[in-house]
Amino acid sequence: MIRIEDVIAKVNENRPGADTDLIRRAYLFSALHHRGQTRASGEPYLVHPLEVAEILADMRLDEVSVSTGLLHDVVEDTLVDIETIRSYFGDEITLLVDGLTKIANISDLSKEKQQAENVRKMVLAMITDVRVVLIKLADRLHNMRTMQYLKPEKRERISQETLDIYAPIAHRLGMGKLRSELEDLSFQNLYPDDYKRLAIEVDARRPELEAALESIKTTIADQLTEHQVPFVSIEGRVKRLYSLWKKLKKQKIMIEQVYDLIAARIITENDRKYCYLAMSVIHDIWTPVPERFKDWIAIPRDNLYQSLHTSVIGDGGQPFEVQIRTEEMHQIAEEGVAAHWKYKESNLGKQEEDEALDQLRNTVEKLLLPLVENTEQTEDSADFIETLKLDLYPKDVYAFTPMGKVIQLPRGSTPIDFAYAIHSAVGDTCTGAKVNGRIVPLRSEIHNGDVIEILTTQNSKPSGDWLNFTITSRARNRIRHWISQEQRTESIDIGRKLLQQEAERFRLPVKKFVNNETEMKRIANEYGLGRPDDLFASVGYGKTLPRNVVAKFLGPEKFGELDPDNQKETRLKTGMKAVKKFIGMGEDAIVVKGVDNMLTARANCCNPLRGEDIVGYISLGKGIVVHNKRCKNVSQLMVNKERIVEVEWAKSDKEQIQSVQLLATTENRTGMLAGITNAIADIKTGIRDARANVSKNDIGLIEVTVEVFDKKHLDKVVSAIEQVQGVISVERVNT
Ligand code: MN
């Protein structure tokens, strides 16, 4: 049985100065908690984490990874919880163990044939930290190596998952050796008959193939030496069973027709020119097969693989492949991302180490995300991950466009952030969003793996309200920029209107005053402002009173003479703070404090009722819009404090009728509607509309639209309805 000292010896050899005490502590902890557990083979469970740790040590990973290898199943398979791990081993190991535990939970669901979705989830989880991927792969490799003790069904399921998920990930990460072993083990377990048949077929040829390889290797070595091409080694191999099987099936050919059943590999010293030299030597010995030459050195594969491939016709007419690469390229080809650890000096500072990890993480992201992007979406991607609470990577979430492009956003982002991340024009014209096919409010938080479709409308504009639920600076800057621009335009308009009205009061020709560029510029300068527009904006924002602008225009003497307030008997001593009356929309009188002759309108959102507390908001086009103080929109409008004006209901000579919609919640019994309408009629109140419904949970819902004079009247109606037997509650709709 493997011992911890073997693992530690490897770590010491590969990474001198590593913290082996940490590994020892992890070992003791793992041994303590897995105590008494056994594997399917009957061995103590501890063998598994130990073997995984050894694979990681062989990969030359750091002590944190090796320790995590020892601890990776503790949370999953014992009573230890993640917080205990944290208290013993700190945040770094905890994050890794947590990631691995979550991936284990996803695997359990893969029976459902949701492989595509699973790949996506796995990848999202793995991007957390490169080491999560590497440890998971080591874990899987050991499980695959010891699968003979499991029941056939379980073997099949795990093998299928390995082929679908882990082998492709290993491939993407350039880990050729690990991938090959995973594939061959899966193949063996999934298709035992095919495997046996093919193995027999290849074994029958093996002596002949090995002999051919030997002679090829000797020829190459002689020729390279003769031409003074420095090489490290020459290897020969018979094609792996799984890739041979795939090729036979895909191309529907016989084993004799396989070009690369055997291959030679030349590992040169670390200079790419030796590769090209070696190739010319090879092409000199044997005739190359046209169009079978590939230069992965000049153009490396995505997964960083570099090599020259060429096929030549052998002495006996049998074609074979030759791969040529440097020692360094070879290591990358075998170990992929894991090879990067070799170059990590063990004397790096913490910060440099973090940077190196970050860089590695970016590489892994680049390699793995395409795997996810190409994944087809399945029907139930809607509640994907959300149910799994895959909140591994604490800072970011990954969402997808309908085309499968990954958008990375900080956690807490909403569809508006997403829209701006795609393009500012998409953000500016966003009017809605579908998440996983369902329309959602724009303030909904985005979760890992959401597929988001942004709905846009031409000429639609950003809303200041969005600032309450966007977190990316890109989105916020665009929205703020837009609002300040919009507000300024609006303010200039309002300011100009206010000045025109003031001019009318003073009976000044607009041409001479507001429309007189020179005069306006002069007054603007007096206020320390640059252009007439700045002056209008200042008036529009309420910083400068229109009356004072007129005073500056006329001069004190003429101003006193023309001031209409001086000519009125009912002159008000409080000056501009005076309360002035005017009629709004011909329906209701509303008093607005401090502003003259502005149009007013009742806000549609809350439809304020005479007697209720109200507040005014200066808007462009509609003048002053009057809201109920309790209206939800008011709190948002308060952002622009300078636009809020005090308003109150004017005393009115005759009573005015207004329709108000009420919703009564009642017990579900007969006669409720009649009871309520009678109660309303009893207090001599008009009913415009009434209808009854029953909700799913057997509650009566009665909507009535009543005609009332003011709030007091409405209160009376509400209390009359409340007194009807069976009524549970009454509320006003739309406030
Ligand atoms: Mn395990």
Q: How many CA atoms, within 13 angstroms, populate the side-chain half-sphere of residue 32? A: 8
In terms of Cα–Cα distance, which of 131, 123, 48 is closest to 97? 131
Encoded tokens for 438: 């369902």
CA of 146 to the centre of ligand 1 (A): 12
pTM of the model: 0.52
DSSP code at position 352: H
Name the residues around ion ligand 1, CB cutoff 5 A: 73, 139
388 C-alpha vs ligand 1 centroid, how far in Å?
A: 20
Distance of CA 243 from the midpoint of ligand 1 (Å)? 27
Taking the centre of ligand 1 as the mean of its atom positions, its distance from the CA of residue 160, in whole angstroms, is 17
In this structure, the chain runs to a length of 735
DSSP state of 390: -
For ligand 1, the distance from its centroid to the CA atom of residue 316, given in whole angstroms, is 49
Return the bridge partners of 529, or none: none
The pLDDT score that the predictor gives to residue 229 is: 92
- State the CB neighbour count (10 A cutoff) for residue 226: 9
Those residues whose C-beta lies under 8 Å from the C-beta of residue 710, and which sit 6 or more positions away, are: 609, 610, 611, 655
User: What is the CA(66)–ligand 1 centre distance, in A?
Assistant: 13
Residues of the chain with pLDDT under 70: 105-122, 124-128, 291, 340-395, 404, 565-600, 620-623, 639-642, 650-656, 734-735
| CA 629 to chain CA mean position, Å | 37
Q: How far is the CA of 540 from the centre of ligand 1 (A)?
A: 69
Residue indicated by tokens 């074994």: 203
pLDDT (tens digit per residue) in 179-228: 999 999 999 999 999 999 999 999 998 998 999 999 999 999 999 999 99
- Spacing, Cα 381 to ligand 1 middle (Å): 27
DSSP 401-464: -TT--EEEEETT--HHHHHHHH-HHHHHTEEEEEETTEEE-TTPPP-TT-BEEEEE-TT----G
User: 17 CA to middle of ligand 1, Å?
Assistant: 27
Model confidence over 395-414: pLDDT tens digits? 677 788 887 677 888 888 99
* CA 193–ligand 1 middle distance (angstroms): 28
- Please check whether residue 669 is in contact with residue 727, taking contact to mean a CB–CB distance below 8 angstroms: no
Distance 72 CA to ligand 1 centre (A): 6
pLDDT score at 418: 95
217: Cβ–Cβ under 8 A, 6 or more apart, which residues? Answer: 234, 235, 236, 264
Specify the pLDDT at position 655. Answer: 62
Residues recognised as catalytic:
76-77
Q: At what angle do helices 47-58 and 4-14 cross, to 10 degrees?
A: 10
